[in-house]
Amino acid sequence: MKANLFDQRHALSWLLVAVVFGLLLSLQLNSSPSAGTVTMVDGRSGTEVTVHRLENEQEALKARIGQLRQDLANYQRQTAATTELLEEISAELDYHRAIAGLMSAQGPGIEVTLDDSQRQTIPADQDPSAYIVHEYDLRDVVNLLWLAGTEGIAINKERVVGVTSIYCVGSTVMVNDTRLSPPYVVHAIGDPDRLEDFVQNPSYLAKVKEKARRHGLIFQFHRSSSIKLPAYKGSFALRYAQPGQ
Amino acid sequence: MSHRTSQVMLTATTFLLGLLVMAQFHTHRLTSKARAFASSADQSVILSSLVEANASLRAEIEALEAQLDRYQDAGSSGMLETLVEELNRIKIVNGLVQVSGPGIKVRISGPLNALNVQDLVNELRNAGAEAIALNGERLVLWSAIAVDDQGWLTVDGVRTASPYLFHAIGDGETIETALLRSGGLIAVLEHSYNDLQVTINRSDKLVLPVHRHPPELLYIQFKE
């Protein structure tokens, strides 16, 4: 009986069973990361579809804010030109709007790029999270650029302003409540020599540089004669703060 | 080797091959899995933060439209008031005016490093702080937290040390909840430093000073 299991006829069946089993196991294990989400026909979950819809809406709202701010500024300048006092205040307002990040800007500076490691395999004893760019890496870069005297910063075309927080949800980086994905390109306007000196200096960005060296995290920078920064198009809602005492 | 045995060997080999192919695929996907597609829980958080962000964008549009209406109705006579109001608002954001309001006082005593302090400031901003000061220095967009060559922590070039006293104007309850949530920043810091002491007090009125280092603009050109 036992011998019959392995005769020539059965051998082909065993072969098929083995192949199918191997493939099934492979499929099973590979699909496990997405287990737990409801997958739609196009491969995206219901939530993902809603997130995309909200992101499109956010883009439209920001465009509207940009347009309204421009109209207001034009109107302000036209009307203010009629009296000296108004003109003075209007000029002061323009200065404060500019340094707050409400105007687009241009100038020489530096471009810093951070991206996840492209390594295909991660040794078993290594932490996979050391191979990707985290929100604190971006915060460290932004902080260093301010330290180096930069005059304006944007990350993936999101202008960094006073109310900007750089945070993460899972491994998704959010800036100005907008979802960013790698590569992260940080643009900064300022003295290119000084900015480059600071970025290169081994005593700064130690963690990022170590991950680049040991885990292949991508960290590149180059000076540029023309960096362009978009205007901030989000809100500056102040509900609690009042000027003065 | 008999024919039968070779069939068995072939079968076993094919099975192993299947496993190997699987293992190979598995490894290839590791890097992308470290940056996994957001889990459904993460997606809900992204979703709710987008809903909230879009609501505040809509409120901003309403405020801007109202401002434009006021300009058009009042002409230059109503302009002065509107301009001064707007100027004060932007100056608060820029930290170039003294500011007051309700908020929260966070006192942290312990060996924090520059990254910890950056994280704390970011957490306060993320929780909606409208103005922040650290040990009496107003923090603004261009503020930098660093360590000088003698190991001192510096805020905009001014040396500072533990205890770190943060004053933040904003919704005290929201900020406190954000700081103290389980797995939140304070919990992480307490885990990193055994001797950390954290005291949080809400306040009806805080007064934060003017930022003392306005930016030097030498390279940037602004355009509308």
Angle B37-A130-B33 from CA coordinates, rounded to 5°: 25
Count of Cβ atoms closer than 10 Å to residue A49 Cβ: 12
With contact defined as beta carbons under 8 Å apart, do A221 and A111 qualify?
A: yes
For B33, the closest chain A residue by CA position comes to A33
Instruction: Print pLDDT tens along chain A (245 aa).
Output: 455 555 666 676 667 766 666 666 665 555 444 433 444 455 567 888 888 899 999 999 999 999 999 988 888 888 887 788 888 999 999 999 999 999 999 999 999 999 999 988 888 888 888 899 999 999 999 999 999 999 999 999 999 999 999 998 888 899 998 999 999 999 999 999 999 999 999 999 999 999 999 999 999 999 999 999 999 999 888 999 999 98
pLDDT (0 to 100) of residue A34: 42
What is the interface pTM, i.e. ipTM, of the complex?
0.81
Question: Are B43 and A45 within 8 A, CB to CB?
Answer: yes
Q: Is residue A25 part of a domain?
A: no
What is the predicted pLDDT for the residue at A29?
56
| Interface contact flag, A72 B65, Cβ < 8 Å | no
Q: Cβ contacts (< 8 Å) between B118 and chain A: which residues?
A: 136, 139-140, 143
User: Within 13 Å and on the Cβ side, how many CA atoms surround B97?
Assistant: 19
Predicted pLDDT at A212: 96
Q: Are residues A74 and A158 in the same domain?
A: no
Nearest CA in chain A to B40: A37
Cα gap A20→A14, rounded to integer Å:
10
**Residue B116 and residue B121: Cα distance in Å, rounded?**
9
Residue A131 inside a domain? The answer is: yes
Q: How far apart are CA A72 and CA B74, in angstroms?
A: 14
Of A29, A68, A172, the CB nearest to B68: A68
Q: Are residues A193 and A108 part of one domain? A: yes
Residue A244: list chain B partners with CB under 8 A. 97-100
Same domain? For A132 and A190 the reply is yes
pLDDT tens, position by position, B86-110: 999 999 999 999 999 999 999 999 9
d(C-alpha A126, C-alpha A143), whole Å: 28
Angle, in degrees to the nearest 10, between helices B114-126 and A135-147 = 110
Q: CA-CA distance, A69 to B192, in Å (whole number)?
A: 45
Task: Name the residue among B53, B76, B118 with its Cβ closest to that of A58.
Answer: B53
Q: State whether A145 and A215 are in the same domain.
A: yes
Answer yes or no: do A68 and B64 touch at CB < 8 A: yes
Give the pLDDT of residue B11.
Answer: 74
What is the rounded CA–CA span in Å between residue A52 and residue A239? 29
In a domain, A108, yes or no: yes
- Number of A:B CB contacts under 8 A? 340
Question: How many domains, in total, are found in chain A?
Answer: 2
Query: Do the domain assignments include residue A1?
Result: no
| Residue indicated by tokens 């002491």 | B197
Closest CA to B31 of A138, A182, A205, A47: A182
Distance (Å, whole) CA A2 – CA A10: 12
Q: How far is CA B127 from CA A8, B168, B180, in A?
A: 71, 10, 12
Instruction: Specify the 3-state DSSP secondary structure of B83.
Output: helix
| Low-confidence stretches of chain B (pLDDT beneath 50) | 27-31
Dmax (CA) for chain A in angstroms is 108
The predicted pLDDT at position A43 comes to 58
Give alpha helix (H) positions in chain A.
2-5, 8-31, 46-80, 84-100, 135-147, 192-200, 206-215
Q: In a mutagenesis test of the A interface, which of B10, B50, B210 is the best target, namely the one with the most A β-carbons within 10 Å? A: B50
Cβ contacts (< 8 Å) between A49 and chain B: which residues?
Answer: none
The answer to whether A107 faces chain B, any CB pair under 8 Å, is yes
- The residue extents of the domains of chain B are 44-94, 99-208
Q: Do B90 and A96 touch (CB under 8 A)?
A: yes
B73 Cβ neighbours under 8 A, 6+ residues apart: none
Chain A residue numbers with beta carbons less than 8 Å from the beta carbon of B3 are 8
Shared-domain flag, residues A170 and A131? yes
Same domain, A156 and A50: no
| CB < 8 Å from B in window 162-201 of A | 162-167, 169-172, 174, 176-179, 182, 189-191
Domain harbouring A225, CATH code: 3.30.70.1880
A148 backbone dihedrals φ, ψ, rounded to 5°: -80, 0
pLDDT of A26:
62
pLDDT at B28: 46
Using CB atoms, which residue from B28, B49, B115 is nearest to A174?
A: B49
- DSSP state letter for A106: E
Are A63 and A112 found together in one domain? no
Counts for chain B of helices (H) and strands (E), in that order: 6, 9
| Angle (nearest 5°) at CA A164 between B118 and B81 | 125
Same domain for A196 and A108? Answer: yes
Tell me if A8 is assigned to some domain: no
What is the per-residue pLDDT for A82?
Answer: 79
Q: Does domain B99-208 have CATH number 3.30.110.60?
A: no
Domain span at residue A209 reads 104-229
